[in-house]
Homo-oligomer: A and B are copies of this chain.
Amino acid sequence: MSTEGKPKAIPQATLERMATYLRIVSDLDNLGTERISSSEMQQIAGFSAAQFRKDLSYFGDFGTPGVGYSVKHLRQRIAKIMNTDHTHSVLLVGAGKLGSALAEYDILRQQNFHIMAIFDTDPDKIGRSVAGITVHSAEHIHDVNKCICARLGIITVPVDVAQQVANQLVDSGVEGILNFAATIIKVPAHVKVRYFSMKRELALLAYFLEHPFDECLEAE
Protein backbone atom coordinates (compact mmCIF):
# COMPACT_ATOMS: atom_id res chain seq x y z
CA MET A 1 0.00 0.00 0.00
CA SER A 2 2.99 2.32 0.42
CA THR A 3 3.01 4.08 -2.92
CA GLU A 4 4.81 7.38 -2.54
CA GLY A 5 4.09 9.76 -5.39
CA LYS A 6 0.81 10.53 -7.13
CA PRO A 7 -1.85 8.41 -5.45
CA LYS A 8 -4.69 7.00 -7.53
CA ALA A 9 -8.27 6.03 -6.83
CA ILE A 10 -8.30 7.19 -3.24
CA PRO A 11 -11.80 6.55 -1.85
CA GLN A 12 -13.84 9.69 -1.25
CA ALA A 13 -14.38 8.55 2.36
CA THR A 14 -10.60 8.44 2.92
CA LEU A 15 -10.17 11.94 1.51
CA GLU A 16 -12.95 13.25 3.75
CA ARG A 17 -11.18 11.76 6.76
CA MET A 18 -7.79 13.09 5.61
CA ALA A 19 -9.31 16.59 5.53
CA THR A 20 -10.60 16.00 9.07
CA TYR A 21 -7.17 14.79 10.24
CA LEU A 22 -5.66 17.93 8.71
CA ARG A 23 -8.10 20.13 10.63
CA ILE A 24 -7.27 18.25 13.84
CA VAL A 25 -3.48 18.30 13.52
CA SER A 26 -3.61 21.99 12.55
CA ASP A 27 -5.62 22.75 15.69
CA LEU A 28 -3.32 20.58 17.84
CA ASP A 29 -0.23 22.22 16.35
CA ASN A 30 -1.71 25.66 17.13
CA LEU A 31 -2.34 24.47 20.70
CA GLY A 32 1.33 23.42 20.98
CA THR A 33 0.76 19.65 21.04
CA GLU A 34 3.86 17.88 19.68
CA ARG A 35 2.85 14.23 19.24
CA ILE A 36 -0.32 12.24 18.64
CA SER A 37 -0.90 8.48 18.69
CA SER A 38 -3.47 6.76 16.50
CA SER A 39 -5.55 5.98 19.58
CA GLU A 40 -5.56 9.67 20.54
CA MET A 41 -6.67 10.45 17.00
CA GLN A 42 -9.46 7.89 17.46
CA GLN A 43 -10.64 9.75 20.56
CA ILE A 44 -10.59 13.15 18.87
CA ALA A 45 -11.78 12.26 15.37
CA GLY A 46 -14.24 9.48 16.21
CA PHE A 47 -12.75 7.19 13.52
CA SER A 48 -10.93 4.08 14.67
CA ALA A 49 -7.14 4.01 15.16
CA ALA A 50 -6.96 1.26 12.52
CA GLN A 51 -8.91 3.43 10.08
CA PHE A 52 -6.50 6.30 10.69
CA ARG A 53 -3.47 4.12 9.99
CA LYS A 54 -5.14 2.61 6.90
CA ASP A 55 -6.03 6.06 5.55
CA LEU A 56 -2.45 7.30 5.97
CA SER A 57 -1.09 4.14 4.33
CA TYR A 58 -2.58 5.24 0.97
CA PHE A 59 -0.04 8.04 0.94
CA GLY A 60 3.15 6.36 2.12
CA ASP A 61 5.04 5.98 5.37
CA PHE A 62 4.20 8.33 8.23
CA GLY A 63 6.25 7.06 11.14
CA THR A 64 7.08 4.12 13.33
CA PRO A 65 4.07 2.28 14.75
CA GLY A 66 3.83 2.52 18.53
CA VAL A 67 5.67 5.79 19.04
CA GLY A 68 2.99 8.11 17.69
CA TYR A 69 3.30 10.79 15.07
CA SER A 70 4.87 14.24 15.09
CA VAL A 71 1.94 16.66 14.87
CA LYS A 72 3.98 19.18 12.84
CA HIS A 73 5.17 16.49 10.43
CA LEU A 74 1.65 15.09 9.98
CA ARG A 75 0.34 18.61 9.38
CA GLN A 76 2.94 19.32 6.71
CA ARG A 77 2.54 15.94 4.99
CA ILE A 78 -1.26 16.01 4.93
CA ALA A 79 -1.29 19.66 3.82
CA LYS A 80 0.93 18.66 0.90
CA ILE A 81 -1.31 15.70 0.05
CA MET A 82 -4.42 17.90 0.20
CA ASN A 83 -2.69 20.57 -1.92
CA THR A 84 -2.98 23.24 0.76
CA ASP A 85 0.75 23.80 1.23
CA HIS A 86 0.60 26.85 -1.01
CA THR A 87 -1.74 29.82 -1.51
CA HIS A 88 -5.03 29.47 -3.39
CA SER A 89 -6.95 32.47 -4.67
CA VAL A 90 -10.68 32.28 -3.94
CA LEU A 91 -13.68 34.18 -5.37
CA LEU A 92 -16.62 34.89 -3.06
CA VAL A 93 -20.07 35.54 -4.52
CA GLY A 94 -22.68 36.96 -2.14
CA ALA A 95 -21.78 39.97 0.01
CA GLY A 96 -24.67 39.53 2.47
CA LYS A 97 -24.24 38.88 6.18
CA LEU A 98 -22.90 35.35 5.80
CA GLY A 99 -20.58 36.21 2.90
CA SER A 100 -19.26 39.26 4.76
CA ALA A 101 -18.65 37.21 7.89
CA LEU A 102 -16.74 34.60 5.88
CA ALA A 103 -14.70 37.27 4.08
CA GLU A 104 -13.53 38.59 7.45
CA TYR A 105 -12.70 35.13 8.76
CA ASP A 106 -8.93 35.48 8.89
CA ILE A 107 -8.43 31.81 9.73
CA LEU A 108 -8.83 31.20 6.00
CA ARG A 109 -5.95 33.46 5.11
CA GLN A 110 -3.75 31.69 7.65
CA GLN A 111 -4.62 28.45 5.88
CA ASN A 112 -3.55 29.66 2.44
CA PHE A 113 -7.03 30.45 1.12
CA HIS A 114 -7.08 34.10 0.07
CA ILE A 115 -10.38 35.69 -0.96
CA MET A 116 -9.22 37.90 -3.82
CA ALA A 117 -12.54 39.26 -5.12
CA ILE A 118 -16.13 39.58 -3.88
CA PHE A 119 -19.21 39.78 -6.10
CA ASP A 120 -22.92 40.39 -5.63
CA THR A 121 -26.00 40.83 -7.79
CA ASP A 122 -27.55 43.46 -5.49
CA PRO A 123 -26.89 47.02 -6.81
CA ASP A 124 -26.92 48.29 -3.20
CA LYS A 125 -23.93 46.13 -2.36
CA ILE A 126 -21.88 46.66 -5.54
CA GLY A 127 -19.12 49.24 -5.06
CA ARG A 128 -19.08 48.83 -1.28
CA SER A 129 -16.12 47.43 0.59
CA VAL A 130 -16.26 44.17 2.55
CA ALA A 131 -13.24 43.10 4.59
CA GLY A 132 -11.26 45.72 2.63
CA ILE A 133 -12.27 44.27 -0.77
CA THR A 134 -14.51 46.14 -3.22
CA VAL A 135 -17.70 44.27 -4.16
CA HIS A 136 -18.05 43.87 -7.94
CA SER A 137 -21.13 43.08 -9.99
CA ALA A 138 -21.55 39.33 -10.47
CA GLU A 139 -21.74 40.09 -14.20
CA HIS A 140 -18.02 40.75 -14.11
CA ILE A 141 -16.89 37.47 -12.56
CA HIS A 142 -15.41 36.28 -15.84
CA ASP A 143 -13.54 39.52 -16.55
CA VAL A 144 -12.20 39.93 -13.03
CA ASN A 145 -11.03 36.33 -12.88
CA LYS A 146 -9.01 36.80 -16.07
CA CYS A 147 -6.50 38.62 -13.83
CA ILE A 148 -6.92 36.57 -10.65
CA CYS A 149 -7.12 33.08 -12.20
CA ALA A 150 -8.85 31.73 -9.06
CA ARG A 151 -9.84 28.08 -9.30
CA LEU A 152 -11.92 28.06 -6.10
CA GLY A 153 -15.18 29.87 -5.40
CA ILE A 154 -17.55 30.29 -2.45
CA ILE A 155 -21.28 30.84 -3.02
CA THR A 156 -23.28 32.68 -0.33
CA VAL A 157 -26.16 33.98 -2.45
CA PRO A 158 -29.89 33.21 -2.09
CA VAL A 159 -31.15 29.88 -3.41
CA ASP A 160 -32.82 31.33 -6.51
CA VAL A 161 -29.59 32.71 -8.01
CA ALA A 162 -27.18 30.01 -6.83
CA GLN A 163 -27.23 28.02 -10.11
CA GLN A 164 -26.67 31.11 -12.24
CA VAL A 165 -23.76 32.19 -10.05
CA ALA A 166 -22.28 28.68 -10.22
CA ASN A 167 -22.46 28.82 -14.03
CA GLN A 168 -20.65 32.16 -14.01
CA LEU A 169 -17.95 30.84 -11.69
CA VAL A 170 -17.40 27.79 -13.88
CA ASP A 171 -17.28 29.96 -17.03
CA SER A 172 -14.58 32.05 -15.38
CA GLY A 173 -12.37 29.02 -14.74
CA VAL A 174 -13.40 27.94 -11.24
CA GLU A 175 -13.11 24.19 -10.66
CA GLY A 176 -14.08 23.87 -7.01
CA ILE A 177 -17.12 25.46 -5.36
CA LEU A 178 -18.06 25.65 -1.69
CA ASN A 179 -21.83 26.20 -1.73
CA PHE A 180 -23.67 27.68 1.26
CA ALA A 181 -26.95 28.13 -0.64
CA ALA A 182 -29.47 25.48 0.39
CA THR A 183 -30.00 24.05 -3.06
CA ILE A 184 -28.38 21.59 -5.42
CA ILE A 185 -26.27 23.14 -8.16
CA LYS A 186 -25.30 21.38 -11.38
CA VAL A 187 -21.80 21.71 -12.73
CA PRO A 188 -19.71 20.04 -15.45
CA ALA A 189 -17.86 16.82 -14.55
CA HIS A 190 -14.49 18.54 -14.07
CA VAL A 191 -15.89 20.79 -11.31
CA LYS A 192 -16.35 19.71 -7.67
CA VAL A 193 -19.00 21.13 -5.37
CA ARG A 194 -19.02 20.88 -1.57
CA TYR A 195 -22.20 21.79 0.25
CA PHE A 196 -22.21 23.42 3.64
CA SER A 197 -25.50 22.83 5.30
CA MET A 198 -26.21 23.75 8.93
CA LYS A 199 -29.35 21.65 8.83
CA ARG A 200 -27.25 18.63 7.85
CA GLU A 201 -24.88 19.19 10.78
CA LEU A 202 -27.69 19.82 13.24
CA ALA A 203 -29.56 16.74 11.96
CA LEU A 204 -26.56 14.61 12.91
CA LEU A 205 -26.54 16.12 16.39
CA ALA A 206 -30.32 15.65 16.65
CA TYR A 207 -29.91 11.96 15.81
CA PHE A 208 -27.57 11.45 18.74
CA LEU A 209 -29.98 13.13 21.17
CA GLU A 210 -32.09 10.01 20.75
CA HIS A 211 -29.19 7.55 20.40
CA PRO A 212 -26.66 8.74 22.96
CA PHE A 213 -25.01 5.38 23.46
CA ASP A 214 -24.38 4.45 19.84
CA GLU A 215 -20.85 3.42 19.05
CA CYS A 216 -19.60 5.83 16.49
CA LEU A 217 -16.47 4.30 15.07
CA GLU A 218 -16.20 3.51 11.41
CA ALA A 219 -17.37 0.03 10.51
CA GLU A 220 -15.30 -0.28 7.36
Contact = CB atoms under 8 A, between A and B. Distances in A.
Given A97-B104, A101-B97, A107-B199, A13 B218 contact: yes
A195 interface: yes
A182 interface: yes
Nearest to A216: B12
Interface string A195-220: 11111111111111111101111111
Contacts of A177: 205
A13 B220 contact: yes
Contact of A183 (B31, B175, B195, B201): B31
Given A23-B197, A107-B182, A199-B26, A204 B82 contact: yes
Interface residues of A, number: 80
Contacts of A199: 22-23, 26, 84, 107-108, 111, 113
A201 B202 CA distance: 17
A183 B15 CA distance: 21
Interface in A66-108: 79, 81-84, 88, 90, 96-98, 100-102, 104-105, 107-108
Contacts of A198: 102, 105, 107-108, 113, 178, 196
Contacts of A108: 198-199, 202
A25 to B, nearest CB: 10
A217 B200 CA distance: 20
Contacts of A22: 199-200, 203
Nearest to A17: B13
